[in-house]
């Protein structure tokens, strides 16, 4: 059986200022407490914004709800 994931993407920072280390740590700690794991943290070379991609395994009850009706 292959794993099924749900993904969440966050953007931190602005055009003028990147996120503080505390901002990033706060987001990652809150996400981890909800079962999310960090897939990647990237920042374009021409900006101060950071993109954080998170994922977590779909729960069985969520999978069942998303299955098509018979």
Model pLDDT for residues 16-49, shown as the tens digit of each residue: 888 899 999 999 999 999 999 999 999 887 788 8
How many beta carbons lie within 10 A of that of residue 36, not counting itself? 20
Predicted confidence (pLDDT) at residue 15 exceeds the cutoff of 90: no
Name the residue ranges covered by the structural domains of the chain: 5-66
With CA atoms as reference, report the closest residue to 5 among 39, 42, 28, 52.
39
Q: What is the pTM of this model?
A: 0.74
Model pLDDT for residues 41-68, shown as the tens digit of each residue: 998 877 888 999 999 998 755 555 555 5
């Amino acid at each position: 059986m292959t794993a099924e994931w749900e993904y969440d993407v966050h953007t931190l920072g602005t055009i003028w200022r990147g996120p503080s280390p505390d901002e990033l740590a706060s987001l990652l700690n809150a996400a981890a407490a909800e079962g999310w794991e960090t897939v990647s943290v990237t920042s374009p070379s021409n900006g101060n914004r950071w993109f954080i991609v998170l994922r977590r395994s779909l729960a069985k009850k969520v999978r069942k709800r998303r299955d098509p009706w018979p």
